[in-house]
Amino acid sequence: MADRMADRTLTPTHPLADRRGLLATVADETAGAVRLELEAPVAAVDLRLDPRGTGPAAVAAAIGAALPSAPDTWTAHPTGAALRLGPDEWLLTSTAASAEDWEFHVDEVAAAHGGMAVDVSAQRTSLRVRGAARELLSFGCALDLRPASFPAGRCAQTLLGQSGVLLVAHDVDDLQILVRPSFAAYVADLLVDAAGELVPQPVP
Amino acid sequence: MSRVDGYGRIDRSRTVTVTVDGTAYTGHPGDTVASVLLAHDARPQNTSVKYGRPRGIGAAWTEDPVGLVQVEEPFPEPMLLAATVEATDGLVVRGVNGQGRLAEVPDTARYDRRHTHCDVLVVGAGPAGLVAARTAARAGRSVVLVDDRPTAGGTLTGTETIDGRPSLEFVADTVAELAALGVVHLQRTTAFGHYDDGFVLALERRGDCVIEMGPRTRQRVHRIRAGRVVVAAGAIERPVVVEDNDRPGVMLAASARDLLHRHGVLAGREVVVFTSDDAAYAAATDLADAGARVRVLDARERAPQAGRRRCEDRGIPVETGTLVHGTRGEDRVTAALVGALTSSERREVPCDLLLVSGGWNPAAHLASHVGGSLAYDPVIGAFRPGELPPDVAVVGAANGTFALADILREAGGPDAPVAPPEEWPEPTLVLWRTPGDPTRQFVDVARDATVADVERAVGAGMTHPEHVKRYTTIGTAHDQGKTSGIIALGILAELTGRPIQEVGTTTARPPYTPVAFAALAGRERGDLFDPVRTTALHAWHVAAGAEFEDVGQWQRARHYPQAGEDMTAAVLRECAAVRTSVGIMDASTLGKIDVRGPDAPVLLDRLYTNLMSSLKVGRVRYGVMCGNDGMVFDDGTVLRLAEDRYLVTTTTGNAAAVLDWMEEWLQTEWPDLRVRLTSVTEQWSIAAVAGPRSRDVIGTVFADVDVSNEAFGFMTWQDTSLDGVPVRLARISFSGELAFEVTVSSWYAPALWERLVEAGAPHGITPYGTETMHVLRAEKGYPIIGQDTDGTVSPHDLGMAWAVSKKKDDFVGKRSYARPENRNPLRKQLVSLLPTDGATRLPEGSQIVAHCDDGRLPPAPVPMLGHVTSSYHSAALARPFALALVKGGRERLGEVVHVPVGDELVAARIGESVLVDPEGARRDG
């Protein structure tokens, strides 16, 4: 039996696999005003570093781009993104490495500077909202999401409905929602529910 | 019919039918229930709350204290004002006798909320608000404009001139300009609450008016955060209190004018206008122009020149120095009781409508909500805004500026539109009431509260308006005293012989107008009421037919009933499977915290009662965490992953609280410790494989791992992998059986779970839920924090003194153990209870009383010994058993106590908390 199983590989399951169809209906329902898409899981670490020390520069050298230094901002690096979550905390993602390799790699660099990286790849899942994303989120998020206040390059940990989320601004009409997998179905349902408000209304 | 041709902003090409008190009335789109009724010379069959006196329509908008109706169709809503309910086809309402009724069926309409941010929020789309919004928008500000009426323009009737044009043209042009400038302009939207830092709540009524093309959402609460809030909410006309002023047919003067210009309705044919202010003259002349016979009685010695001239042009008699003292009539006014200011003689003047006007009260409520002060202005006889918080402005009538030309200038600054100045105004005479019988002078018509009630309050020693308000209930009705509040202050001043400035005011609080709970709830109902958290394995549990239970926000599989099984049967089967073969449970909801850094051992030593620094890498230890008071706060296992790294688990419900607790100590008390905490609760999923056959299952799936007891001992962990995916195995047991916890990245949890189930199939592997887990752990005397504890239970009380280190200098909670009370031998202690009949399952929460030979409950007060915390049927014991907290329980082992169950006293014997395998022989298989 062990031999038979050794031939197989473990297949990952997306936390919102059973909402994929529901999310896809939104684009049609809203006549293209808004689109909700699942994003493929990526490797991610929670990086903790003294921002005043030598760590940030060392990590930047290793990943090929500077870490964002302003609060609530993010930057792209060659294989992923770096999001500043707190004074000494970043979320570093990579589409190129496996989760365990990414943790090992970043941690090795950080450890030399008193920092550390912890694998949190499966701690969040990602939804992409394109089109009238800011309007859609205004039904559940208290943040000022006007493009001037929340431009591309900004990110924020906030509430969407009653769920904590990490919002990432990619463009005026392109936002990313990172959410704990256990809350993801709630958030998906909340967004699909609100998207009905973007359905074009017949003019009386 | 009192509908007047040529007036009103109603759509006369269409009709709507409204049923009021069983009678169908026709009206037009643009009507309200009040205007439909008045157009038919009818009124709702209302009676007052206390005296049962008839009530009519007293005003044309939210200030009406009397015109309440119960909506029955399309959906029951209690206590709405007829003047604010838009007439829609099929609407069914009835008058109320002081009280409405709530719907007994669920409201299927949709309500939601929306967050809006802007530079400037303008409340009110009258002339002041429109101009303020235009000024801000032209300056490039992002502007939100809200107004509670269906259309913009406020009190403008169309008879005024702005910038040389009819006022409503100016309104239309301005509205168009605002739209072009991107202003978010919401009509039918009431700003009902204003909070610190520019936060305003506004209720938008979206669906009340359009049945056939209804929007999806009936009402929406806008949560608006503005850099600056401009209150341009206008003013509310102030009545003068006279005898029997509650009688139908008494109305505010401006309301009658509003009904004419907005709805084309004449509220009366024979009209007496009683005023101490100029504005009522416009009502008199407009109503006369529309065909009413009007007489003006002005309390002042002099009438305003322009107003008097216009009246004379129309043949309207104007008497100055004249007072209305009361009304005559049965269920509606048939005459006004009139007398000269200087004389005690009274005469009756026949009329079917008595209009009263005593001046205007600025509607500055929204400024008061955020602490804006009010100052009495004797010229207008009202309180106007005084000192305002930063970034709050009040303009126009809300600021006590009543002349249109002045309003425009105040709101618009240099590029303000212009209006002709008022001609020769006459100062307002501040008049709260006319001489008469105080028991028939209604101060708050909504509450049936009279001048005599205010006198009684003063007689009882009350002088502060807040006291008088509560004693008399004045200002506490649906209208929150919009018309009565200031008059009550004036009369209180009069009765206590103080200037009104010294009397003070009551505090305006949100909501400005009533808001339905459904609107406040928004979408937070049904499935969206509270997030349902599910694990990566949820779909599997659903497919396996699990029944779920809520644990905090988590939905956990409780048991997996097979056909024909109830919960008891399913749980007994699942328990038996774990005790005899193997079961599998989803333990992913356990909180998990990665604790890392050179000082991680120090931190954990300080937070757990037991030693964690001595734990060797590769090993696992059970830990208890207590609060400052030494009482158990949480428990869980601690895995030492490396010299500087631990993985801590918490109970499901406490995951966030434990992380917060640890961060609080770390950040505020011991910032010097080099430790960092990371929540990895959802990173890792855990399958608990438990039972004598669990070793076979684990050994099959992880063929590379030596799972023998010698190589893989109890309370140790090992890392391995499956198809290249890292997996952590740990010998941890919450059932007392041989057991393994299998931890994997949540991405792979479903796939790994399937493997485990497949490998367990030859052994009949049985998925088991939380209920089974509870039974299994209770048989072993393992407490559930929060079920067997309640914040007053120490580790010692749980029989876990062994988990409290005597070696450590200090840890959170330690000092409390030296308190005498913590050493009291009569503290409640965790023990087991076995009902002596071997059959009764004691209800959890049952009280325990000392044994009584006669089997009867002793007389009250019954001496209580404790209570049952957990109670189940045990498959292993083949009988019910319970855990309980019992005073001095450890000293009572073997004693029989009684538990009242219904009318019976059930005898139960106290025993050791561990009932199954007390030697622990089963944990190694």
If you ran DSSP here, which 8-state letter would residue A42 be given?
-
Superfamily of domain A17-40+123-198: Probable tRNA modification gtpase trme; domain 1 (3.30.1360.120)
Chain A residues with beta carbon closer than 8 angstroms to that of B113: 139
Q: Is B209's Cβ below 8 Å from some Cβ in A?
A: no
Which residue among B680, B703, B751 sits closest to A13, beta carbon to beta carbon? B751
Burial B488-521 (b: 16+ CB within 10 A, else e): bbbbbbbbeeeebeebbbbebebbbbbbbebbee
Q: How does the average pLDDT of chain B come out, rounded?
A: 95
Chain A residue with the nearest C-alpha to that of B760: A1
Q: In chain A, how many H helices and how many E strands?
A: 6, 10
Chain B residue with the nearest C-alpha to that of A191: B528
pLDDT at A112 over 90: yes
Amino acid sitting at position A53: G
pLDDT for res B267: 96
B471 touches B465 (CB < 8 A) = no
DSSP notation for B2-28: -B-TT--S--TTS-EEEEETTEEEEE-
Q: How far apart are CA B733 and CA B715, in angstroms?
A: 8
**Could you tell me the two tokens for B173?**
């042009």
Name every residue whose Cβ is closer than 8 Å to that of residue B764 and which is 6 or more positions away in sequence. Answer: B577, B581, B582
Q: What is the CA radius of gyration of chain B?
A: 38
pLDDT at A24 over 70: yes
Between chain A and chain B, the number of residue pairs with CB atoms below 8 A apart is: 140
**Could you tell me the two tokens for B850?**
């000392």
B239 touches B358 (CB < 8 A) = yes
B445 touches B490 (CB < 8 A) = no
pLDDT band at B208 (very low <50, low <70, confident <90, very high): low
Chain A residues with beta carbon closer than 8 angstroms to that of B681: 123
Tell me the longest C-alpha to C-alpha distance in chain A: 68
Q: Do A122 and B223 touch (CB under 8 A)?
A: no
**Could you tell me the two tokens for B151?**
């259309």
Q: Do B748 and A9 touch (CB under 8 A)?
A: no
Report the half-sphere exposure of B546 (CA within 13 A, side-chain side): 26
The CATH code belonging to domain A43-119 is 3.30.70.1520
pTM score, whole prediction? 0.93
CA distances B447 to B11, B474, B719, Å, are: 36, 6, 75
Q: How far apart are CA B815 and CA B395, in angstroms?
A: 62
pLDDT for res B506: 85
Q: How far apart are CA B3 and CA B1, in angstroms?
A: 6
pLDDT for res B446: 94
pLDDT for res A1: 37
Compute the average pLDDT of residues B2-24.
95
Token pair 């008097």 is at which residue?
B308
Q: At what angle do helices A99-111 and A55-63 cross, to 10 degrees?
A: 140
Q: How far apart are CA B286 and CA B280, in angstroms?
A: 10
Chain A residue with the nearest C-alpha to that of B592: A123
Q: Do A190 and B722 touch (CB under 8 A)?
A: no
Name every residue whose Cβ is closer than 8 Å to that of residue B924 and which is 6 or more positions away in sequence. Answer: B709, B714, B738
**B289-304 pLDDT, tens digit each:** 999 999 999 999 999 9
What phi and psi values does residue B850 have, to the nearest 5 degrees?
-60, 155
pLDDT at B210 over 50: no
Q: Strand B293-298: give its sheet, edge to edge.
A: B250-252, B353-357, B270-275, B293-298, B318-320
Q: Is B333 exposed, middle or buried (0-12, 13-18, 19+ CB in 10 A)?
A: buried
Q: Do A41 and B747 touch (CB under 8 A)?
A: yes
Chain B residues with beta carbon closer than 8 angstroms to that of A144: 117, 225
If you ran DSSP here, which 8-state letter would residue A27 be given?
H
B907 touches B837 (CB < 8 A) = yes
**B148-188 pLDDT, tens digit each:** 999 999 999 999 999 999 999 999 999 999 999 999 999 99
What percent of chain B lies above the pLDDT cut of 70? 99
pLDDT band at B215 (very low <50, low <70, confident <90, very high): low
* DSSP helix, strand, coil percent of chain B (3-state; round to 5): 25, 30, 45
- Residue B59, classed as helix, strand or coil, is coil
B143 touches B137 (CB < 8 A) = yes
pLDDT at A124 over 80: yes
- Residue B494, classed as helix, strand or coil, is helix
Which residue among B223, B682, B701 sits closest to A181, beta carbon to beta carbon? B682
**Could you tell me the two tokens for B411?**
């709101």
Q: Do A196 and B674 touch (CB under 8 A)?
A: no
Which residue among B112, B534, B676 sits closest to A48, beta carbon to beta carbon? B676
Q: How far apart are CA B804 and CA B898, in angstroms?
A: 32
How close is the nearest chain B Cα to the Cα of A13, in Å? Answer: 5
pLDDT for res A8: 59
pLDDT at B212 over 70: no
CB interface of B with A, residues 586-625, below 8 Å? 594, 596-597
**B650-665 pLDDT, tens digit each:** 999 999 999 999 999 9
Q: Do A199 and B216 touch (CB under 8 A)?
A: yes
Q: Do B724 and A9 touch (CB under 8 A)?
A: yes
pLDDT at A72 over 70: yes
CB interface of B with A, residues 330-359, below 8 Å? none
B738 touches B690 (CB < 8 A) = yes
Chain B residue with the nearest C-alpha to that of A136: B114
pLDDT at A167 over 90: yes
Chain B residue with the nearest C-alpha to that of A18: B539
pLDDT for res B424: 81
pLDDT for res A3: 42
Q: What does the angle CA A62 – CA A67 – CA A71 come to, to the nearest 5 degrees?
A: 160
Compute the average pLDDT of residues B51-70.
95
Report the run of H or E that residue B573 belongs to, with start and end. helix B567-580
Q: What does the angle CA B218 – CA B222 – CA B228 come to, to the nearest 5 degrees?
A: 150
Best mutation site among A1, A3, A7, A13 for testing chain B: the one with the most B CBs within 10 Å? A13
CB atoms within 10 A of CB B141: 17
B617 touches B558 (CB < 8 A) = no
Chain B residue with the nearest C-alpha to that of A120: B683
CA distances A33 to A39, A48, B426, Å, are: 19, 39, 58
Outline which parts of chain A fall under CATH 3.30.1360.120.
17-40+123-198
Q: Do B678 and A48 touch (CB under 8 A)?
A: yes
Outline which parts of chain A fall under CATH 3.30.70.1520.
43-119
CB interface of B with A, residues 670-729, below 8 Å? 674, 676, 678-684, 700-701, 703, 722-726
CB interface of B with A, residues 66-125, below 8 Å? 112-117
pLDDT band at A202 (very low <50, low <70, confident <90, very high): low
Q: Do A18 and B539 touch (CB under 8 A)?
A: yes
pLDDT for res B549: 96
Q: Do B531 and A196 touch (CB under 8 A)?
A: no
* DSSP helix, strand, coil percent of chain A (3-state; round to 5): 30, 30, 40
Q: How far apart are CA B431 and CA B358, in angstroms?
A: 6
Q: Do B682 and A180 touch (CB under 8 A)?
A: yes
**B888-904 pLDDT, tens digit each:** 999 999 999 999 998 88
How close is the nearest chain B Cα to the Cα of A76, in Å? Answer: 23
How close is the nearest chain A Cα to the Cα of B587, in Å? Answer: 14
CB atoms within 10 A of CB A166: 20
pLDDT at B145 over 60: yes
B690 touches B578 (CB < 8 A) = yes
Own/partner pairs for A152-155, CB < 8 Å, 24+ apart? Answer: A153/A73, A153/A74, A153/A75, A154/A72, A154/A73, A154/A74, A155/A72, A155/A73, A155/A74, A155/A83, A155/A84
Chain A residue with the nearest C-alpha to that of B644: A116
Chain A residues with beta carbon closer than 8 angstroms to that of B112: 139, 194, 197
How close is the nearest chain B Cα to the Cα of A61, in Å? Answer: 23
CB interface of B with A, residues 725-754, below 8 Å? 725-726, 745-752
Q: Is A48 exposed, middle or buried (0-12, 13-18, 19+ CB in 10 A)?
A: buried
Compute the average pLDDT of residues B874-887.
94
Of A172, A177, A174, the residue nearest A158 (C-alpha): A177
Q: Do B748 and A12 touch (CB under 8 A)?
A: yes
**Could you tell me the two tokens for B851?**
């044994």
CA distances B607 to B338, B590, B627, Å, are: 83, 19, 9
Chain A residue with the nearest C-alpha to that of B752: A10
Q: How far apart are CA B190 and CA B612, in angstroms?
A: 59
How close is the nearest chain B Cα to the Cα of A103, in Å? Answer: 13
Which residue among B215, B533, B596 sits closest to A182, beta carbon to beta carbon? B533
